[in-house]
Structure 1
Amino acid sequence: MSDSGVRPAAQTEDNIKNMSKSKEATREMSPRRFISGVVEGFYGRPWTMEQRAELFRREQKWGLNSYLYAPKDDYKHRMYWRDLYSPQEAEQLKTLISAARNHNVEFIYAISPGLDITFSNPKEVTALKRKFDQVKEFGCRSFSLLFDDIETEMCPADKQAFPSFAHAQVAIANEVFQHLSQPEVFLFCPTDYCASFCTPNVPQSAYLRTVGETLLQGIDILWTGPKVVSHKISVESIEEVSAVLKRPPVIWDNIHANDYDPQRLFIGPYKDRPIDLIPKLRGVLTNPNCEFYPNFVAIHTLATWCRATPDEGPSDVEMISVSTGEEDQDSCYSPQKALTLALTEWLQEFLNTDQPGGPQHPASRLRKHLSDEEPMQTDIGEAAYVPGPDENPLYTAEPLTLEDLKLLSDLFYLPYEHGSTSQTMLLELNWLKKHSRAAAAQTEETAEWRSRAQHFDEMCEAVVQMFNRLSNAPNRSILYDLYNYICDIKSGVGLARAYVKTLSGHERPSAHVMNEDPEPWGFRGGLSGEFQRMLPGHGNRDLFKHPPSTAVYCIRPFCPEDKDEVQRIFSEMQRPGGDKVPLLTQQPLMSDVLLDLETPPLPHCALVLEDEIAVCGYAFALMDAKPAAVKIQREVDASVLKDFPSMLTVQVLPRVTDPSPAKRMISQLLSSLKNSGSTGVLCEVRHCDKRMLDFYTKLDSFKPIQIPGLPQDIIYLGARL
């Protein structure tokens, strides 16, 4: 094939296959090494040259062998892929490629031309080859062509030249692969790079079938698993996609990636990928957190996983562990033991007073330079300050511990899983909130509540102390990558801690938690959080296995079959108990007339609320309240009925803890009454019904109305329409 462009697909594929037979035969005779390492493929600020050099040192130390250069925000990798590197940029890449080679790490250079490439234009193909050729001159010998996260609609010119999007991509990939003399490592990222993107599924995906059948066998294919961020990757799923691709994939693993959520960081171990996958794969590359230094755990535990092969055993460290029943563990790899190994080694980095890079690091040289200067003048003979017996003691920074790092990992674990401490804190807070009445009452449950509240407070204090020790760690480079995250979790824990103390009744309500006008640090989310709370889906609850689930309620018009259920709810809510007064001794309400149901109410004036169990609430209204007042012999001032001619009542069972359904029913009835010509609505609440009184007073639309001559135990509220 010439360099002038892309020939018709069928002819190109036949020629390339014939040309590559001899080289493929040679490949089959010599085993290819398992690709293992890191892909810098996230969205956001790319790592610095110094951080990448540090990465190569770590990879060599831990036994990893590859680095895929694919930062999305490198303009000349993706957006301006046609542009050649300037002399200054070229020098940096040469230095980086050389540094990787010096540490036995294969530098894989990637280009992402899919945003705007015209596959059928010969000039585009030439530009792509020219860019790869330039990087090859820098000493790079491994390459990658990425077509991820792009539009799938081809331009008219490409539609005429190629039968499908897959054919266009494969034609380009095959030609570039041939142009580069079939390098030992050449990676191809398909547009459908995970099972969830495949239509209708992996085995029947026309796109994947085309890639598998027409992409040259010397080219390896990147795959993220069942999802973009895969919770688990099974052997069966890899066997399935391998059959379609006609080769084992290289896993591009996003399990530690955090570029999609600026509030999350992942410091949990590499897990939920059985080591039986290793012989089924061509390799694994982790695409980790955007922040460089917190990736110590992600990369270290991946290296431990790669070494723990079934044939060779757990290498230099014993990883055999008995299953806990909570997670499926391989006999040669335990995520928790791998995590402890990583954290133990990471702790030494935190305590290192020299910044990463050793004695020649600029910060070290700066300290040495300053130490050679003449010292600042101080008062001669001045002794160190010693506080008096009644004064504050000097602040002493406690050293960071392994337990602190274990807690840090628990707080920032994995996308689909909290660490054990985080899970416990969530469960405890849920229990304390659910049983908050026991805090003030003197019951058998009170002692348990207080004990668990104390335990929760101690866990919160441990987070605060971890934050303090971490903030005083000598290695500031790691701290600065973590700082926003640990500040956020400390603040969130502080809010929860204050709330529990408020529930205990020993402290006044916290302004941070209970105030209707809190400071900005008293809530989370910004505009993104506001949008999320307004949308139907509110998280997949994978992280908190036993949360107070959001019930699904149905609001519908009342029908005659609901009569018995509505009257049952009415009677149940009038039974004596707690602060309620027996029904026979109560003054009747005008709204009680609605519950006689002798005459079915109008459909637009009667609603019922259902949950998964049965009818659990109702909301009824009357356009004209006068007949109801007459029926119970209640004298109501004519001026009041002129301003508020209609009447409304609402009631829900105690199991409905969410006030939103009742608010929606009221809103719907108020709208119906207004559309029917009403100018205002009355509702009545007894003094003893503190639950409903509290509910109405929190609604902005209802205000108390002073009506002379009413029974003392009844409060009237009105809403103007």
Structure 2
Amino acid sequence: MSTPGSANKREPRRFISGVVEGFYGRPWTMEQRTELFKREEKWGLNTYLYAPKDDYKHRMYWRDLYSPEEAEQLIALISAAKQHNIDFVYAISPGLDVTFSNPNEVAALKRKLDQVKEFGCSSFSLLFDDIEREMCPADKEAFSSFAHAQVAITNTVYQHLGEPETFLFCPTDYCAAFCTPTVTQSSYLNTVGEGLLPGIDILWTGPKVVSNKISVESIEEVTSVMRRPPVIWDNIHANDYDPQRILLGPFKDRPSELISKLRGVLTNPNCEFYPNFVAIHTLATWCKATAEGGQRDVEMDAEEQDPYYSPQKALTLALTDWLQEFQSTAQPGGPCPPAARLKKESSDEEPMQTDMGESSYVPGPGDNPLYTAEPLTLEDLRLLSDLFYLPYEHGPTARAMLQELDWLKNNSAAAAAETGQTQEWCSRAQQFDDMCEAVVQMFNRLSNAPNRSILYDLYNYICDIKSGVGLARTYVKRLGGQGRPSFNVMNDDPEPWGFRGGLSGEFQRMLPCHGNRDLFKHPPMTAVYCIRPYCPADKVEVQRIFREMQKQQMAQPPLICDGLSAGEIPPSPQCALVLEDDIGMCGYALALTDAKPAAAKIQRAVSGSVFEDFPSLITIQVLARVTDPSPARRMVGQLLSSIRSSGSRGAFCELRHSDRRMLHFYTKLGSFTPLKMAGLPQDIITMGTGL
């Protein structure tokens, strides 16, 4: 057995840098992998780890040898990697069902790796990620722990293969979040660090499976436990866990100081091959950041946080190179040359013809001009990256759009008119519309880009964001009074594209914490509110709030609900709530299931048909210090539920035109609509909702 000190004979070892194909889903094609090797060589990366979860003989049927046809493909792939100076690392994942103590199982693993070695592969990896930790009875008898079993089989295989220069081990606890109770106190990780032969490198994803940031301190900590620096398996650009995400932002939040403290970094990027241009390109820039005597791709400014690497400069460099790829038609699946166009033919035998030798169509003076596809720009790609940035961060433009939409929503045109901010609202609405239009134009130019291979990998994502932006754009226009009534988006019977996510979306919206991990956070509430049932002792406080709100209104005729708020008429059972904050009572909501007696008391003439459809009355008031409308909405919702339980068909409220605040509140609720009632005093408006 080797000793820890023997690892020195292997020095210096090159820094491992490159790509893992380790995601769940459709594997990349042989042509795409060959293209990857060319790019890695061009950008200065040196490693490819073959670990697609969908290769059954890599994971589920790991014991089975490759067929002659499969062997031919792997031989060609390994050969292509060598031609481009890329270290092809073959990974195998026996952990789903291996019996570690069974000699036949160990022999099967050796036999499989021997076969791949015969293909020309000289670097290997054993992966024990994403498996159950429970051992079978035979293994429990043979090994003191799960970690002990993994260490034993890994060391055996490593030595059987002749202790290859590159041999990677992925532990079951491959990030800090999985370590119990901590990284330094993890018995599993300590066993792995102590037991694995020193020539074996260990894969590590960082603090989490998908790590937002990886600090120098965290790597120093895990290095001390593993007894060797880790190779980072970086999932920052992985998207196999969410079919609605693709990550096009730069490699970031890994300080370049890490390079000297790591054995290497491999990115496990998006499932889609072509959009990984940015992820791999920026990783390559990062890897070259501290190279002594090497040529850095970007020069840093004095004010940069990292003196060797700027994510934004690396992103610009990647997008500039990617733009050239979009203009190419040489990729597999590229479009036909412009001359090959479908033309109308009288014969059905040859529907596809070229228009060579024929004059181009020229529109007449009154005809529509010919459509011309505008070329894709660097700004388009920068916007695309901003919209699909990173797991924990939106790009600058995306953040700006969310912030503008939030402000426009919370300061609607109607509210802005009351406060004299109409000009600001309209100006910001136009800015938001301009940003939405930029997304649409980006979509159009992407759709007409010559390289269809990249487009097809992106198409579902850009269609989805275009649709989402379109919905937001329409909503803002409606807030500004520009919406078209016939536009069927945000009404009671929307088209399927008006609501997102299908069944998965419905499940999420039913869960209590849905939305609490959104990257865009709404401003935190400044107060905690309590809603509780009204009791007789609250009568004085309700009257005080009623009088205070009355002072803010002009002289007016009485409302039916005034007697309810003033304590002259008791609310119906289960139909009274009060709102409290840390100061005290700050609002109330009261209801009568039958409003006829209250109307008769003030001699209000109400037609019988109105009371037939809306027999119940509701009133709500909150003090001006309550700036969050959510508690009032909850009180209304609870009251309407109680009224519905009493058998009522509907409820109405009376408001004064001068009470702009409550008029805006009921209008924003969406369920209350104005009612036509004959004989109403001029200053009063009635709104109702069916139950």
The TM-score with structure 2 as length reference comes to: 0.86
Question: Distance between the aligned counterparts of 1:338 and 1:499, measured in 2?
Answer: 36
Matches of 1:234 and 1:597, distance apart in 2 = 66
Q: How does 1:589-604 map to 2 (within 5 A)?
A: 589=560, 592-593=563-564, 596=567
CA contact (8 A) 1:697 1:703 kept: no
2:421 is the counterpart of 1:445:
yes
* Matched position secondary structure for 1:315: coil
User: Within 2, Cα distance between the matches of 1:144 and 1:244?
Assistant: 20
Inter-partner Cα distance in structure 1 for 2:7 and 2:167: 16
Q: 1:305 to 1:575 in 2, by over 3 A?
A: same
Residue by residue over 1:344-376, the C-alpha shift from the partner in whole angstroms, topping out at 9 and shown as x without a partner, is 11111111122269xxx9989xx9xxxxxx998
Q: Helix, strand or coil for the counterpart of 2:130?
A: coil
- Partner of residue 315, structure 1: 295
Question: Which residue of 368, 390, 398 corresponds with 2:374?
Answer: 398
CA deviations 1:19-76 (Å, max 9, x no partner) are 2239x61644522211110001111111001000000111111111111111111111
Alignment match, 2:235: 254
CA contact under 8 A between 2:170 and 2:204: conserved in structure 1?
A: yes
Residue in structure 2 matched with residue 21 of structure 1 by the alignment: 3
- Corresponding residue number in structure 1 for 2:440: 464
Distance across 1 between alignment mates of 2:264 and 2:446: 35
Which residue of the other structure, out of 392, 410, 413, is the alignment partner of 1:416?
Answer: 392
Structure 2 partner of 1:685: 654
Instruction: Identify the residue that residue 306 of structure 1 maps to in structure 2.
Output: 287
Structure 2 counterpart of 1:665, from 638, 645, 667: 638
- Paired residues of 2:335 and 2:451 also in contact (CA < 8 A): no
Q: Structure 2 matches for 1:369-518, cutoff 5 A?
A: 382-437=358-413, 441=417, 445-509=421-485, 511-518=487-494
Deviation at 1:291, TM superposition (A): 0.5
Is structure 2 residue 185 aligned with structure 1 residue 204?
Answer: yes
AA at the equivalent of 1:619: A
Corresponding letter in the other structure for 2:90: Y
Provide closer, same or farther for how the CA distance between residues 571 and 277 of structure 1 changes in structure 2, counting only shifts above 3 A.
farther
Task: Supply the distance in 1 between the matched residues of 2:613 and 2:427 (Cα, whole angstroms).
Answer: 54
Q: Distance in 1 between matches of 2:578 and 2:489?
A: 33
Shift of 1:447: 2.7
1:289 aligns with 2:270: yes
Contact 2:24 2:240 in 1 (8 A): yes
Letter matched to residue 353 of structure 1: T
Secondary structure at 2:2 match in 1 = helix
Q: Point out the more displaced range, 124-133 or 155-164.
A: 155-164
Structural mapping, 1:172-321, within 5 Å: 172-309=153-290, 312=292, 315-321=295-301
Following superposition, the deviation at residue 191 of structure 1 comes to 1.4
Deviation at residue 519 of structure 1 after TM alignment? 1.6
Which runs of 5 or more residues in structure 1 are unaligned? 1-18, 368-373
Distance 1:70 1:685 in 2: 67
Contact 1:685 1:714 in 2 (8 A): yes
Greater shift in the superposed pair: 619-628 or 265-274: 619-628
Contact conserved, 2:561 with 2:618, CA < 8 A, in 1? no
In structure 2, distance between residues paired with 1:550 and 1:616: 14
- Offset, 1:333: 0.8
Any idea what SS the aligned residue of 1:207 has? helix
Deviation string 1:688-712 (CA, Å, 9 cap, x unpaired) is: 464576578817xx99899x99989
Amino acid of the structure 2 residue aligned with 1:31: P
Q: CA separation of 1:363/1:393 partners in 2, compared to 1, >3 Å: closer, same or farther? A: closer
1:607 is matched with 577
Partner Cα separation in structure 2 for residue 455 and residue 679 of structure 1? 46
- Alignment pair present for 1:40 and 2:21: yes
Read off the aligned partner of 2:635 and give its amino acid letter.
A
- The CA distance in 2 between the partners of 1:430 and 1:643, in whole Å, is 37
Greater shift after overlay, 162-171 or 544-553?
544-553
Q: Give the corresponding residue for 1:127.
A: 108
Which amino acid counterpart does residue 451 of structure 1 have in structure 2? S
Deviations 1:288-329 (A, max 9, x none): 0110001011001000100001x6277243421244xxxx73
* Aligned twin of 2:63: 82
Please tell me whether residue 139 in structure 1 is matched to residue 120 in structure 2.
yes
Structure 1 residue aligned with 2:347: none
Q: Is the 8 A contact 1:652 1:662 kept in 2?
A: no
Residue 89 of structure 2 aligns to a residue whose secondary structure is: strand
Distance 1:429 1:236 in 2: 39
Structure 2 partner of 1:655:
627
Q: 1:408 to 1:29 in 2, by over 3 A?
A: closer
Change (3 A) 1:56 1:660: farther
CA pair 563-138 structure 1, distance change in 2 beyond 3 A? farther
Name the structure 1 match of 2:513.
Answer: 537
Total equivalences in the alignment: 672
Counterpart Cα distance in 2 of 1:455 and 1:711 = 42
- The DSSP-based 3-state class of the residue aligned with 2:75 is helix
Closer/same/farther in 2, CA of residues 363 and 134 from structure 1, 3 Å limit: farther
Q: 2:543–2:565: 8 Å Cα contact kept in structure 1?
A: no
CA displacement at 1:562 relative to structure 2: 5.5
TM value normalised by structure 1 = 0.83
One-letter amino acid matched to 2:368: N
Identity within the alignment, %: 70
Question: What letter matches 1:290 in structure 2?
Answer: C
* Contact preservation (8 Å) 2:593, 2:643: no
